[in-house]
């Protein structure tokens, strides 16, 4: 394991206590809302902050061990750090920015510049070598920051919200380029993001943080399909219900939901993809086991589709086509029925 870490730390309103590991070449996405302890974790890994207690091992080197009194400075850790707003040195050219790491470690100027040049070529930004950071676009600056962090060949690469500084128009293309570049990194990669899409696209494994605690670990597909936290569910648009399962029925507050799985029992999470929910004028008859009446509280365009929120018990969101909206004359305040087949539900232990 290239990275093995446990970090505990007090924040003003909660305690961070997480365990994290990553293999060489693996990209771990630390996903969570703002203020969930993600950045603190990253800063502890880099040595920019010291945890109250914990231990961090990077490629077999103990860089942090609170019980043994070890707390290596950032410069002594084999870590590359890409900051949220990149923090390229404004007084240095792109080439000098990338050569900064080797120079700081005592590499001769000529060799440092040659190494920097190699990375600029690898990231297809060699033509920017003489520019100052102020003359770069967001995507270019990100590549320079990545090259600067990787030129010293770190065992651990950290990225703090690597796409947050970009405008929506360029995010998608930069994201896919970043994915390509991250897949070629030798060491372990930990990236922090509050955007599930970034985590889904960039990470091999997602660690969901809430209030300083790990609430879920899994592959991106897993986390998206079966979110264990309201935060992720809301962001991926999934309806998330918590309840008690028994004999194929889950009691969710005052409502009862029929699920396909009769074996599951105890506290569970029911995830309902909004695409699986049908909207009707009248109480539907048919194979759908679950039907709920309610009033439409909002209609919202989502790309080519429309998200319909209904104040049923429990409140649910469905996704329908604009054609269906017109055909059913859906509008805010309209009385409708929702239905979903038991087999279209995802049920898993909470």
Partner 1 sequence: MTSSPARARRVTPIPIGILAAIAVALLGIPLIGLVLRTPWSRLPDILTSPVATEALRLSLLCSVAATAIAIVLGIPLAWVLARAKVPGVPVVRALVTLPLVLPPVVGGVALLIAFGRRGLVGQYLYDWFGVQLPFSTAGVIIAEAFVAMPFLVITVEGALRSADPRFEEAAATLGASRWHILRRVTLPLIAPAIVAGAVLAWARALGEFGATITFAGNLPGVTQTMPLAVYAALDTDREVAFALSMILLAVSLAVLIALRDRYLRRGAS
Binding site for partner 1 (CB under 8 A): 46-48, 73-75, 77, 79-81, 83, 87, 89-92, 100-101, 103-105, 148-149, 152
Q: Rounded to the nearest whole angstrom, what is the least distance from the CB of residue 214 to partner 1 in the complex?
A: 24
Render 136-153 in DSSP notation, one character per residue.
--HHHHHHHHHHHHHTT-
In the complex, least distance from residue 83 CB atom to partner 1, rounded to whole angstroms:
6
Q: Based on CB atoms, which residue is closest to partner 1, 35 or 74?
A: 74
Contacts of 220 (CB under 8 A, 6+ apart): 29, 199, 200, 201, 203, 204, 205, 206
Cα gap 12→329, rounded to integer Å: 50
Please report how many Cα atoms fall inside a 13 Å half-sphere around the Cα of residue 131, on the Cβ side.
Answer: 14
Instruction: Tell me how far, at minimum, the Cβ of 89 lies from partner 1, in Å.
Output: 6
Could you tell me the smallest distance in angstroms from the CB atom of residue 58 to partner 1?
A: 13
User: Which CB sits closer to partner 1, 186 or 283?
Assistant: 186
Minimum Å gap between C-beta 36 and partner 1 is 21
- Adjacency order of strands within the sheet including 335-340: 278-280, 335-340, 290-302, 305-310, 316-320
Nearest to 7 by CA among 65, 60, 48, 74: 65
Least CB distance from residue 330 to partner 1, whole Å? Answer: 44
Q: Which two tokens stand for residue 315?
A: 């409140």
At residue 33, the 3 state secondary structure works out as coil
Nearer to partner 1 by Cβ, of 158 and 250: the residue is 158
> Contact, 19 vs 195, CB < 8 A?
no
Angle between helix 94-104 and helix 109-122 axes, rounded to 10 deg: 130
Q: In the chain, count H helices and then E strands.
A: 9, 21
CB of 209 to partner 1, least distance (A): 22
- Please identify, using beta-carbon distances, which residue of 11 and 105 lies nearer to partner 1: 105
Q: Are 240 and 230 in contact (CB under 8 A)?
A: yes
The distance of closest approach from Cβ of residue 44 to partner 1 in the complex, given in angstroms and rounded to an integer, is 13
The pair of structure tokens assigned to 32 is: 């969570």
55, burial (CB in 10 Å: exposed 0-12, middle 13-18, buried 19+): middle
Compare residues 149 and 340 and give the one whose CB is closer to partner 1: 149
Structure tokens at 47: 């040595």
| Residue (148 or 226) nearer to partner 1, CB | 148
- Pick the closer one to partner 1 by CB: 46 or 224: 46
Closest CB 116 distance from partner 1, rounded Å? 12
Q: Which is nearer to partner 1, 92 or 197 (CB)?
A: 92
Which residue number, 48 or 164, has a Cβ lying nearer to partner 1? 48
């Amino acid at each position: 394991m290239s990275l093995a870490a446990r970090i505990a730390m007090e924040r003003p309103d909660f305690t961070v206590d997480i365990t994290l590991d990553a293999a060489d070449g693996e990209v771990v996405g630390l996903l969570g809302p703002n203020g969930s302890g993600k950045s603190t974790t990253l800063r502890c890994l880099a040595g920019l902050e010291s945890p109250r207690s914990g231990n961090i091992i990077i490629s077999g080197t103990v860089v942090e061990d609170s019980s043994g009194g070890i707390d290596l400075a950032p410069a002594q850790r084999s870590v590359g750090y890409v900051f949220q707003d990149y923090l390229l040195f404004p007084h240095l050219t792109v080439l000098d920015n990338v050569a900064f790491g080797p120079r700081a470690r005592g590499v001769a100027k000529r060799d440092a510049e040659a190494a920097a040049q190699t990375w600029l070529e690898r990231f297809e930004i060699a033509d920017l070598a003489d520019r100052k950071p102020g003359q770069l676009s967001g995507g270019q600056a990100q590549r320079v920051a990545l090259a600067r962090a990787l030129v010293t060949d770190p065992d651990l690469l950290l990225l703090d919200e690597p796409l947050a500084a970009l405008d929506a128009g360029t995010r998608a293309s930069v994201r896919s380029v970043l994915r390509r570049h991250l897949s070629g990194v030798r060491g372990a990669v930990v990236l922090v993001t509050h955007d599930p899409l970034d985590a889904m696209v960039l990470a091999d494994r997602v660690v969901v943080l809430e209030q300083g605690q790990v609430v879920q670990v899994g592959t991106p597909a897993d986390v998206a399909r079966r979110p264990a936290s309201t935060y992720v569910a809301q962001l991926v648009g999934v309806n998330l219900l918590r309840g008690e399962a028994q004999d194929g029925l889950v009691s969710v507050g005052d409502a009862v939901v029929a699920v396909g799985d009769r074996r599951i029992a105890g506290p569970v999470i029911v995830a309902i993809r909004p695409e699986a929910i049908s909207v009707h004028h009248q109480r539907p008859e048919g194979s759908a086991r679950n039907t709920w009446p309610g009033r439409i509280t909002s209609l919202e365009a989502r790309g080519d589709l429309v998200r319909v929120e209904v104040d049923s018990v429990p409140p649910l969101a469905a996704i329908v086509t604009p054609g269906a909206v017109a055909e059913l004359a859906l509008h805010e305040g309209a009385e409708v029925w929702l239905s979903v087949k038991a087999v279209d539900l995802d049920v898993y232990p909470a």
